[in-house]
């Protein structure tokens, strides 16, 4: 190893408290052998694993799995591949179609970036998913972890990955007592992740590490008695397995009231919806007019804001339903009200505004609460 590389490694090692047994070649060999043997017997049957040699499928699954449980992702993954079997198919789709298929997975920015990346692949790589690391990293929505996961799993490239499951597993294996979000601890984990990779089957090893973290080395109450790596685990030896990797500071959630307006056309069974503009929550999706602080703190305030924003001459009606849900740091109580026109004819609509029947609403991409409201109207 060059002097510069040795010095950099020394700085990484000394910056974060940990057990240094991982620097031993025999220890790393034992970890690899035990983990791969365990994975061979215990790997879950997942649809993307049946297509592990296809970088497009691996990419799709990795994006969907970000902040989302495996059981939730499975049906979405199957529907996406059925609708968009190739990158070219995804690139050619309308954004509204992509968002509608994504509906319910949340974090819609992922879907928009997926769509943008597919277009970039068509324009820059002739519709073939790139297999060079820098090319993959340059795609929208792809960072170091995702690029490494895609290429190691689909092409066997020796690339490390550090995500929620592996950072917890690796932190415990080396008894890293700083939280993984700490800069020094994070650098140490990436160094470990690179050094622990076998020369071959890196994709299998990365999958095995993520699987063990998901099924055995869990955040609370890790199943140490059934862990194949327990004899090698520094945290278990030191009695730190329930303490490492530490707790993230709890989010202080803020209560918030919002108001959705179900504006019915005066002459037919259709409701006013609009496409949320860029830069706002749920951009690109369609929604009923809804308002909260700082624009409105009451139903009357929401009515006034709707008149100002959309030119809707309306008055408040009955409460249709109340929905409680969470968005980022907010715990929202959404009051959905029927509202009525005060004049017989609605004004003309702009390009991103429509009157939609309850049946037509079923084909529009809506956010989760918007879908609940659409279903409520369809049932009336």
- Residues catalogued as catalytic: 62
Owner of token pair 């649809």: 47
Contacts of 170 (CB under 8 A, 6+ apart): 162, 176, 189, 192, 193, 196, 209
**In the chain, at which residue ranges do the beta strands (DSSP E only) sit?**
254-263, 271-275, 286-287, 290-291, 314-327, 330-341, 353-356
How many other C-beta atoms are found inside a 10 Å radius of the C-beta of residue 10? 10
Q: Is 345 helix (H, G, I), strand (E, B) or coil?
A: coil
Owner of token pair 């991409």: 365
- Nearest to 97, CA basis, from 374, 370, 364: 364
Q: How far apart are CA 169 and CA 161, in angstroms?
A: 12
Q: Is 365 helix (H, G, I), strand (E, B) or coil?
A: coil
């Amino acid at each position: 190893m060059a002097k510069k590389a040795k010095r950099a490694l020394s700085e990484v090692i000394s910056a974060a408290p940990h057990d240094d047994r991982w620097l031993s070649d025999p220890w790393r060999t034992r970890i690899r052998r035990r983990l791969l043997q365990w994975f061979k017997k215990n790997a879950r049957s997942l649809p993307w694993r049946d297509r592990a040699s296809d970088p497009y499928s691996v990419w799709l699954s990795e994006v969907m799995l970000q902040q989302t449980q495996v059981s939730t992702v499975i049906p979405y993954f199957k529907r996406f591949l059925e609708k968009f079997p190739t990158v070219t198919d995804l690139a050619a789709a309308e954004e509204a179609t992509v968002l509608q298929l994504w509906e319910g997975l949340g974090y819609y920015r992922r879907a928009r970036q997926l769509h943008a990346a597919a277009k970039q692949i068509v324009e820059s790589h002739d519709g073939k998913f790139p297999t060079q690391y820098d090319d993959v990293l340059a795609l929208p929505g792809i960072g170091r972890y995702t690029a490494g996961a895609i290429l190691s799993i689909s092409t066997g490239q020796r690339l490390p990955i550090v995500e929620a499951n592996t950072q917890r597993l690796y932190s415990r294996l080396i008894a890293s007592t700083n939280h993984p979000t700490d800069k020094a601890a994070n650098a140490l984990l990436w160094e470990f992740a690179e050094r622990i990779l076998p020369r071959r089957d890196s994709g299998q090893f990365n999958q095995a590490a993520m699987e063990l973290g998901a099924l055995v080395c869990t955040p609370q109450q890790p199943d140490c008695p059934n862990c194949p790596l327990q004899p090698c685990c520094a945290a278990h030896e030191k009695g730190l397995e329930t303490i490492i990797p530490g707790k993230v500071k709890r989010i202080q959630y803020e209560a918030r009231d919002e108001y959705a307006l179900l504006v019915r056309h005066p002459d037919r069974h259709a409701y006013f919806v609009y496409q949320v503009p860029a830069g706002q929550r749920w951009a690109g999706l369609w929604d009923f007019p809804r308002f909260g602080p700082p624009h409105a703190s009451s139903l009357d305030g929401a009515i006034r804001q709707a008149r100002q924003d959309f030119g809707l001459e309306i008055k408040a009606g009955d409460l249709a339903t109340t929905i409680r849900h969470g968005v980022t740091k907010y715990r929202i109580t959404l009051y959905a009200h029927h509202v009525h026109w005060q004049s017989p004819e609605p004004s003309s609509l702009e390009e991103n505004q429509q009157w939609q029947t309850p049946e037509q609403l079923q084909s529009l991409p809506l956010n989760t609460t918007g879908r609940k409201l659409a279903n409520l109207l369809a049932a009336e």
